[in-house]
Structure 1
């Protein structure tokens, strides 16, 4: 048995049951948290770069964090949903190599799990108002973080267990096609961890190579082989992912977020952010504010 298998933990953000209409129509959504849906009535569409899926009654859907997608409903759709953040000791997502929308048929236990997580986490919905200006985002997210901290240990474990059970539905080999099963060398893992911890600092590829006692070109080739990205592109991606998290969970200004994520100035930060997400930081904040009010 692989004792290190379950190294990912998940922190509940929202859980609720909602009835949606054609106002649920969002393009180029990319969030720093996961979305899990169980559809019980109606029909909608969720699409990513791999194509579209029709949201059908009786099915479960997962949208991993940082997965670009479009969401729409032409008439009526009702769903149970859970939103949650992921934590792992090395900063690598469970779905790092499988960032796409997945669908599985639900059973009675899955439906009971959705209802149970809502029951033991009351008041975790997001449909407080149709007006995004009703609340400040940093207060909103801080409140739910505090709610997690106030849970009894029994509720924390049960909530975590339910999320793990529901995620496990998508991890079967025929569904979860992770193309990179090979063991990642320690020099790459060390570099990944170092990048994750030091995103606000100046990071140079030569510095990472020196830490690994390798020349820069050889280190870059190894890093690309096991991550699919050059070290520089990987650093930029992780900085923008951190920025997305900060935009969603705080009310910090763009200059402050740029500094916290290692960018020299807000202009360069904004250019890279738009290149990687398709949106400016301001448009990203507005989109997620509106989306989070809808479910």
Structure 2
């Protein structure tokens, strides 16, 4: 019997039920974690570079990680929300082919799942003070990971299960994106893992192809078939994603982040980061400070 092993797990950041006002107004936000909302009252707007969606009661919304988006509320908005990091053993995100905001009709089960997620994860909201400079400045991923580590096994497993069910709801609505997609052969899957572990090293197409005894041109074509990108573009994208993660979750200097993500110089890092995200590392870091782990 062939066993199918799920490669993706999640690290919970925040979950809460909040009532928002017109102050909830953020433009060009990009974060290394997922957001899922369930709206139970009021109205708002959410958009990325492709879609513009109305936030309305009775619907679920998702913002995949590393998706540039804008959020706003003109009057009032009541929502359940959950934010979490995705961790993938093979380096392939569940939404790698669809990093866009999307919307589906909520079911009673979805609502019950959100309520239970909040029940088994008390005190995981964002606000710790009325002053954003206080509660946003000191929020770091390690603190939330420690909360996850201290969670009892039953609640941890339930949390993983609920996040998987909510993610599955959105994946089900996008199944057409997976039509015709084949599973990557073992050599390509292994190469992806090698890339993700060694982003700080030189990763030439010639060297990657030699590792698996393939001609560079053949390797590059096969890599694109199963990832949608040539190796050079894929590696650059993963380096920038890792840099975004480090900017959001650490106090490392820009030069240290550049070195840890495989850029020879700070100027090349900055140029590449702006090319991919549309903003400089400094602007992105400033956004993270101002917005924090925003809803």
Tell whether the 8 Å contact from 2:7 to 2:90 is kept in structure 1 after alignment: no
Tell whether the 8 Å contact from 1:138 to 1:250 is kept in structure 2 after alignment: no
Structure 1 segments unaligned to the other structure (5+ residues) = none
User: Secondary structure of 2:86's match?
Assistant: strand
Distance 1:89 1:241, change over 3 A: same
C-alpha distance in structure 2 between counterparts of 1:6 and 1:110, whole Å:
22
C-alpha distance in structure 1 between counterparts of 2:248 and 2:81, whole Å:
18
C-alpha distance in structure 2 between counterparts of 1:228 and 1:10, whole Å:
24
Q: Within the alignment, does 1:208 sit opposite 2:208 as a pair? A: yes
C-alpha distance in structure 2 between counterparts of 1:294 and 1:186, whole Å:
39
Tell whether the 8 Å contact from 2:127 to 2:135 is kept in structure 1 after alignment: no
Partner of 2:149: 149
Structure 2 segments unaligned to the other structure (5+ residues) = none
User: Secondary structure of 1:169's match?
Assistant: helix
User: Secondary structure of 1:3's match?
Assistant: coil
C-alpha distance in structure 1 between counterparts of 2:124 and 2:208, whole Å:
42
Distance 1:176 1:40, change over 3 A: farther
Tell whether the 8 Å contact from 1:24 to 1:294 is kept in structure 2 after alignment: no
Shift of 1:254: 0.7
Shift of 1:189: 1.5
Partner of 1:21: 21
Partner of 1:112: 112
User: Secondary structure of 1:17's match?
Assistant: strand
Residue by residue over 1:56-94, the C-alpha shift from the partner in whole angstroms, topping out at 9 and shown as x without a partner, is 101111111112222122221111100011112111111
Distance 1:180 1:289, change over 3 A: farther
Distance 1:265 1:174, change over 3 A: closer
Distance 1:73 1:39, change over 3 A: same
| Count of equivalent residues | 295
User: Secondary structure of 1:10's match?
Assistant: strand
After superposition, the CA RMSD in angstroms is 2.0
Shift of 1:35: 0.5
Shift of 1:272: 0.6
User: Secondary structure of 2:223's match?
Assistant: helix
Q: Within the alignment, does 1:255 sit opposite 2:281 as a pair? A: no
Shift of 1:137: 5.3
C-alpha distance in structure 1 between counterparts of 2:231 and 2:191, whole Å:
9
Partner of 2:186: 186
Distance 1:27 1:180, change over 3 A: farther
Tell whether the 8 Å contact from 1:46 to 1:70 is kept in structure 2 after alignment: yes
Partner of 2:9: 9
C-alpha distance in structure 1 between counterparts of 2:159 and 2:18, whole Å:
20
Residue by residue over 1:82-126, the C-alpha shift from the partner in whole angstroms, topping out at 9 and shown as x without a partner, is 001111211111111122222111122211211211121111111
Partner of 1:269: 269
TM-score (norm 1): 0.93
C-alpha distance in structure 1 between counterparts of 2:136 and 2:29, whole Å:
20
Tell whether the 8 Å contact from 1:195 to 1:235 is kept in structure 2 after alignment: yes
Shift of 1:19: 1.6
Partner of 2:245: 245
Q: Within the alignment, does 1:36 sit opposite 2:36 as a pair? A: yes
Shift of 1:225: 2.4
User: Secondary structure of 1:62's match?
Assistant: strand
Partner of 2:54: 54
Tell whether the 8 Å contact from 1:129 to 1:293 is kept in structure 2 after alignment: no
C-alpha distance in structure 2 between counterparts of 1:18 and 1:105, whole Å:
20
C-alpha distance in structure 2 between counterparts of 1:36 and 1:214, whole Å:
41
